Amino acid sequence: MAEAAFKLTARQEEAQKVMAGPATHIMLIGGSRSGKTFLIVRNIVFRVLKAPNSRHAVFRFRTNAVEASIVCDTFPVVMRKCFPGVRYTLTSKPSVARFDDGQEIWFSGLDDKERVEKVLGMEFVTIYLNECSQIPQSSRDIAVTRLAQAVDQVIGLPDGGERRTQLKPRFYYDCNPPSKVHWSYKLFVQKVDPETKQALRNPQDYAHFKIDPVDNQENVSAGYLETLHNLSARLRKRFLDGEFADATPNALFTDENLETYRVLDGKAPDFVRVVVAVDPSGSGDIDNADNDAIGIVVAALGTDGNAYLLEDATVKAGPATWGKIATDAYDRHAADCVVGEVNYGGAMVEHTIQTCRREGGQRRVPYKAVTATRGKAVRAEPISALYEQGKVRHVGYFRDLEDELVAFSTVGYVGERSPNRADALIWALTELFPGIVAGKREKKEKKAYAPPQSWMAS
């Protein structure tokens, strides 16, 4: 059965007018599955077909993300739906779509130094930063210097003739809006230079348009909008409402860092060490509905030197229950040890863990007790540095735990409830990266290990 002819939604038609306008830099912002990426890729192909021998680039921060999201998904769908008669070949390593009249679209991540150096050794007439909330400003500033190809477009005339004129360079961006401290907000909304904070010399050259999932509901699956409505308030604002978040002053963890390094394809490396961390509630009254939960998380150190959050098993329950949950997680992940915080109840955590093992007729669990000698925010600071460096990756989504992380700032924790999930994760990561937190008797703070950074993200 033939596929129905593609048609833009009403809101996408409005976005298209902005994209065809006079601005060189154009950003589409809005919630998840609103059609932003589809619309921009469609525009790039239109530009390809207008200009023989033209060169275009699509960038995302991570190579595997641009391959999975654009090369294997959006691009072939756009070609099938909007350009069914257009021939092209698609190569890999590097990923390049080549058309009959010498046009090329290069697809690349910015985390692959060798590939980036090759791609940015060329000039382009179109550049697209997909999910620019994940891309450092320094990478954007380097990429913009390559928007330099001068190429003619061919325009058909009513009498059958042709007219040639230079194709206008375009730099496209899209994102699910991050916080207002991000360079994209300053550049496109405030119209100021992100570094100097001075007004742009050419503000008319930066245009943005907001488009949200509700504007594209005829093209998303039934129930998808309801799924977004069920997210936390923080995530609804970003993925449903498509709004920039108010910045938490001196935030230690950001949505951008969490999203940039999130693992969704299941391709985590082998692990050299796995730990289960337990952060007990400050109260023993388990029947109190307002009591805090017992933080239980599983994290691992990969052979690549990065840490991976594997499971959040946090629960509000009595010792017999949470002890079994923790030991089951230990067995399920073939963990090396259990780490437990001892401020509340002294050796209570270890006693609970070992009691559950004895009752199950199993061997003792290797256990390490840790003591909080400093405040939560102070303990979190070296961990936040690891997140900034991309040394911690979440395997999947952990909504409640991530809500707690982004509520940490240098002045303290600003969330509504005790961050037991995040505290457990901090204990786990401290165990996986020994030495990043100074001991209470050391006179100097140890700095978090800083691995060599890609020159694109430095």
CATH number at residue 305: 3.30.420.280
CA–CA dist 151, 19 (Å, integer): 19
**441 falls within a domain:** no
Q: Are residues 126 and 40 in the same domain?
A: yes
Q: Are residues 278 and 367 in the same domain?
A: yes
Domain containing 56: what range?
A: 10-229
- Given 229, 263, 285, the domain boundary residue is 229
Residue 15 within any structural domain of the chain: yes
Are both 69 and 215 inside the same structural domain? yes
Question: Does one domain contain both 189 and 266?
Answer: no
Q: In the chain, which stretches have pLDDT less than 50? A: 1-2, 4, 284-289, 439-458
Round to whole Å and give the CA distance between 456 and 201: 25
Is 144 in contact with 127 (CB distance < 8 Å)? yes
CATH number at residue 120: 3.40.50.300
**Pair 26, 99 in one domain:** yes
Residues 270, 395, single domain; the answer is: yes
Cα–Cα distance list, 78 to 29, 37, 44, 81 (Å):
20, 10, 10, 5
Domain count, the chain: 2
Same domain assignment for residues 223 and 264: no
Q: Among 229, 245, 263, which residue terminates a domain?
A: 229
Indicate whether 246 belongs to any domain.
Answer: no
CB-based contact 47:54 (threshold 8 Å): yes
Residue 448 lies inside a defined structural domain of this protein: no
Q: How far apart are CA 156 and CA 161, in angstroms?
A: 6
Same domain, 153 and 263: no
Q: Report whether 57 contacts 105 (CB < 8 A).
A: yes
pTM value is: 0.75
Per DSSP, what are the bridge partners of residue 199?
A: 192
Please name the amino acid found at residue 273: R
Pure H helices in 209-318? 224-229, 233-235, 255-260
Residues 131, 271, single domain; the answer is no
Same structural domain, 271 and 224: no
Name 26's Cβ contacts closer than 8 Å, sequence gap at least 6: 18, 19, 170, 171, 172, 173, 207, 208, 209
Whether 218 and 278 map to the same domain: the answer is no
Domain end: 177, 194, 229, which one?
Answer: 229
440 lies in some domain: no
First to last CA, the chain: 51
Residue 335 lies in a domain: yes
238 part of a folded domain? no
Same domain? For 325 and 216 the reply is no
CA angle 99, 206, 168 (to 5 degrees): 35
Residue 453 lies in a domain: no
Residue 451, preceding peptide bond in cis (omega within 30° of 0): no
